[in-house]
Structure formats: C-alpha cells, structure tokens
Amino acid sequence: MGSRARGQSSLTGSPEGSPVSRGPGPGRTRSGIQAVLALPDFRLLWLGQIFSQLADKFYIVLMVFLIAQTWVRGTPDANPALAEAATAMRMDLPETRAQMITLLATGIYVANTLPAMLLGTVAGVWADRWPKRTVMVASNGLRAALVLFVPFCLVDSPLWLGLSVGYWGLVLMTFLESVLTQFFAPAEQAAIPQLVPSQHLLAANSLYQATSMAATIVGFALGDPILRLLQRVLAGIGIEGGEFLLLPTCYGIAALSISRIRWRESPRPVARTSVLSEIRQGLAVVRERPPVARAMGQLVLLYSLLAALYVLAISLASAVPGLGPTRFGTLLAMSGLGLGIGALAVAQLGQRLPRRSLAAAGLGTIGWSLLLLGQLRGSLVFTLLLCGVLGVGAAMLAIPAQTTIQEDTPEAMRGKVFGLQNNLINIALSLPLVLAGAVVSRWGLLPVLWALASITLVAALAEQPWRRW
C-alpha cells in the first residue's frame, strides 16, 4: 500500500482504483483544469465546496437581512431598547439605521470569527481521527439541520441586555455553525490530495481558489436579492418564509454531493494519545519540514496583507473621485476578480515554473502594486487595475504554497497541519482588521502602503528567485 502513488489506494469504482484511470484514455492527454474536472470524485467534492461556501456567505447575508427586518425598524429613536444593548457592548448609541444594523451585526461577526480563531487546530486533530468524507457530510448535514431553527428565533421573546432572546439565539446558532465549519475545512483540504494525482494538484488548488473567490463575490453580491426573490415568489403561491429555504438547500446539496464520492479510506487506528499531543505532532511536522513551514508562512503573510487591504480600501476609495468611501467594495471585487484570473492562469501554466519562482513573482507583484497604489491613488482606472494585478499576485503566491503543504505533509497528519494552518490564517485575518485602521488614522495611508510594500518585497527577495532550485 505504501508504495502506491498518492491517492491511488483511496479510490474505488475503477479496475485500478486510481484517479488517472478515470481520466482520459491513453491517447487523450489533458492538463490543467480539464484534467482535474475529468475526475468524477473530484467534481463531486468541488460541487460540495461550491454550495457549502455559497451557504456560508448566504448565512451572513441572511442574518443581516433578518436583523434589519426584525430588530431595526425605523430610526434609532424608535428603538429605545438598542440604547441598553449599545451600553452593554460599550459602544456609542447609533445615530442612523445603518449604524444600528451594524451594531447588531457585530455580534454575528464575532460569533462567526471566534471558533475560527480558537478551534481550527483542535478540529484538525479530529478530522484526522475520523473518516474525512463522513466529517464533510456530517458538517454540512448538521448545518442544514441547524438553520431550520432560524424562524423560531424570530418569535416574540423576553428581553436580555436590551434585545430579545431570539437575537441571542441567532448569535449562538452562528457560533455553532462556525464550529461545524472548522471541522469541514481541514477535512476538505486533506481530501484533495487523496482524490487528485500529484501532477494535477496545482490545477486542483487553482480551481478551488478561483471557486472560493467567486463564491465570496456571488454570495455577498447576490445573497440579498436572492433572499428577497425567494420571499416574494413563494409568498405569491401562499408559502411564507421562503427566504429560510436557501441555506438548508445549499448545505443539503453539498452534503449529498460529497456523500456520493466513491472513496474508501484506510481504517484509522483508535487514538491512544491526547488531543494536545497530536497538536504537538502537527507542529513537529511543520517544524521538521522547511518547505511546509515556508509555505505556511507565505500564506499567513498573504492573508495578513489581504486583511489590511480590506481596511485600507476605505481610505483608498475615499481618494478616488469616482468612488468615495462607501464604494470601497468595488476595489475588493477587483482584487477578487484578479485572484480568480490568476488562479486560472496558474492552473494552466504554473506546472512549468518552479514553486519558489512563482512565490517570488507573486510577492513582487503584490509589493509593486501596493507601492503604485500609493502613488496613483487619485486615479480611478489605475486604482482598479492595480487592485486586479494585486489579486493576480495573490493567486501566484497562495496556490503553489497550498499545493506544497498538501504534497509535503504525510497523509495521516494532514488534518492536524491544515487545522493549524486555518488557525494561523484566521488570526492573520483578524489582527490587521483591528490594527490597520488605527495605524492609518495615526500615520496616514501612504506610509502604511509603503510599509506593507517593503515587507512584501523583502519577502520576495528572501525567496532568492535568481537561484536554480
């Protein structure tokens, strides 16, 4: 078993049990995205990813939608209970309806973020102990069942801290949803190298990265219109609450799709070590394998930069006459578009280039984009273009790094390592959101862009792209 190529012993449904045997015949070679989409089991996993990630984004949109319809009606003066809630959260009393919605949405955001920061590594350990397909199916199935209780949170209930118990029920539900997501993520990432031959891993990760970004854009951009459309269409045929059907449908399709994967994992021995001991084993893998440690460091740096850009986008948009601060999302959407384009390019061409050269090129692209964003921040065309180029650089860095971690991590340790990775990335996403705004307020946008660009360019030089590896 140990001498087989990676992923061959885990698949059924063909005489050889190999993903290659279910691809094109001997006379038809495929590469890039065509090659990975030719694998039926990978297509099922990919479909599960699409609907699971869309559901995650729709969930946040639904929470804001319900807050606006249920707890925030009219002006702040018409909602005196929010004064008590603002005092309890040590926040200023909101002056506008938008601020009121933001205040209540903050509780949802915090409940969604905490498990991602605290439980990723622990969830990764359990993802290694349990069959990964079972983990993914159960995670989506339980989330589908959990969101069925959303309507019960909207009924009249007693107040606590100025808000109905139903609101706090949504906060608790969001926390539990996020906990289940932490189990899904490392199991999904560890499954990819089992379903895809090693020569196609770069293309598979490129497709996943592009899909993830597309789900983010589509989920947040179209979530509200879709919810309103469902509500209106189903109400027209006498069915109330149509908006509550979207989430269980998406999670259910994800669970059904993944359950159809023909995947027989090797039996796992009963764990005789503690969770803490297995976390140390995951840390040891990262410490003892320099390529894994370097790739993980690259991902942490990248997500820190993207989180900082999320905050800086408001100031950047303010400096562009055609945008203004409220349309900062346009810059983020351009970065997402660039990342998707970059992911497709890496899928088709990245296999021909050394990983460290791709990483250096990605870091250099991000660094120069940040420098030029500071110099050309008054121009709408150049700002949009540079945000797109920055996204391309992010794809050139993220996809080879993720592929390296998958290839160089032993199969039995992947859940632990990916759980640790998710923990570090979520911390990397959170800290800049807290710090970047204060730093910009103190020193201004331009010095911050220069500082970030300098860090990125130094990291690019550290890859020594001039050497032949």
DSSP-assigned letter for residue 159: E
User: What integer pLDDT is reported at residue 141 of this predicted model?
Assistant: 96
In a domain? residue 24: no
Q: Which of 205, 183, 207 is nearest to 193 (CA)?
A: 205
Q: Is residue 18 part of a domain?
A: no
Report the CATH number at residue 363: 1.20.1250.20
Give the model's pLDDT for residue 273.
66
Does some domain include residue 11? no
Q: With contact defined as beta carbons under 8 Å apart, do 235 and 242 qualify?
A: yes
Q: Is the same domain home to 246 and 315?
A: no
| 118, 251: one domain | yes
Which domain, by its residues, includes 443?
273-469
Average pLDDT rounded to a whole number, residues 257-285: 74
pLDDT at 2 over 70: no
Whether 19 is in a domain gets the answer no
Give the model's pLDDT for residue 69.
Answer: 81
Q: What is the DSSP letter of 69?
A: I
Residues 317 and 251 in one domain: no
Residue where a domain terminates, one of 221, 242, 270: 270
Q: Are residues 255 and 300 in the same domain?
A: no
* pLDDT tens, residue by residue, 170-185: 999 999 999 999 888 8
Q: Which of 30-44, 64-78, 121-135, 325-339 has the lowest mean pLDDT?
A: 64-78
Taking CA atoms, 339 is separated from 63, 206, 212, 332, in Å, by 27, 10, 10, 10
**Same domain assignment for residues 339 and 248:** no
Q: Cα 414 to chain center, whole Å?
A: 18
What secondary structure, in 3-state letters, does 399-421 show? Answer: HHHHHHHHHHCCHHHHHHHHHHH
Q: What is residue 344's predicted lDDT score, i.e. its pLDDT?
A: 83
Please state the domain count of the chain. 2
315, 183: one domain: no
Determine how many CB atoms are found less than 10 A away from the CB of residue 236: 9
Q: For position 90, what pLDDT does the model report?
A: 53
Decide if 336 is inside a domain.
yes
Contact 248, 149 (CB under 8 A): no
If asked whether residues 210 and 250 sit together in one domain, one would say yes
Query: Is residue 7 a part of any domain in this protein?
Result: no
Quick check: 345 pLDDT over 60? yes
What's the chain's average pLDDT?
A: 78
Q: Which two tokens stand for residue 267?
A: 């039996």
Residue 172 pLDDT: 94
pLDDT (mean) for 390-414: 86
Asked if 242 and 363 sit in the same domain, the reply is no
Last residue of a domain, one of 220, 235, 270: 270
Residue range 279-332, pLDDT digits in tens? 777 788 888 888 888 988 888 898 888 878 877 777 777 777 777 765 666 787
Residues 151 and 266 in one domain: yes
Q: Output the pTM of the full model.
A: 0.70
Question: Are residues 287 and 401 located together in one domain of the fold?
Answer: yes
Q: What is the pLDDT of residue 1?
A: 35
Least confident of 190-199, 215-224, 361-370, 452-461: 215-224
Burial tier of 367 (Cβ tally within 10 Å: 0-12, 13-18, 19+): buried
Q: Which of 230, 249, 270 is the last residue of a domain?
A: 270
Taking alpha carbons only, the member of 213, 192, 172, 188 closest to residue 138 is 188
Indicate whether 200 and 289 sit together in one domain: no
Whether 141 is covered by a domain: the verdict is yes
Q: Are residues 186 and 314 in the same domain?
A: no
Given this model, what pLDDT does residue 128 score? 74
